[in-house]
Amino acid sequence: MVVIRLARGGAKKRPFYHIVATDSRNPRDGSYLERLGFYNPIATGGEVRLQLDQVRLAYWLGVGAQPSSRVSDLMLDAKVAA
């Protein structure tokens, strides 16, 4: 099954997440099918906190990909901000 979830990056104590479409059997930071955006939980000032490619996100949801609970919340935040 294809899932849309967060893949962690960044340094120790400075998280940065890529929002990716991946097979559910892959490890969290393993290979992925497509990168759909990013989430920076510690963004300050003029930094971008959340960016999503809405067209590709709609495509993956249309073919049956299931978003994780956190990605679902981020999708709602992106719609409110738009």
Rounded to whole angstroms, the Cα distance separating 24 from 11 reads 25
Does the pLDDT value for residue 74 go beyond 80? yes
Rounded to whole angstroms, the Cα distance separating 22 from 14 reads 23
State the pLDDT confidence band at 81, using cuts at 50, 70 and 90.
confident
Give the pLDDT score at 79: 87
- What is the extent of the structural domain holding 8? 2-81
8-57 pLDDT tens trace: 999 999 999 999 999 999 999 999 999 999 999 999 999 999 999 999 99
Average pLDDT over residues 53-72: 96
Alpha helices in the chain (DSSP H): 54-62, 69-81
Phi first, then psi, for residue 17 (nearest 5°) are -120, 140
Q: How many domains does the chain have?
A: 1
What the block records as the tokens of 82 is: 């738009």
Give the pLDDT score at 39: 97
pTM as predicted: 0.93
Q: What is the CATH number of the domain that holds 50?
A: 3.30.1320.10
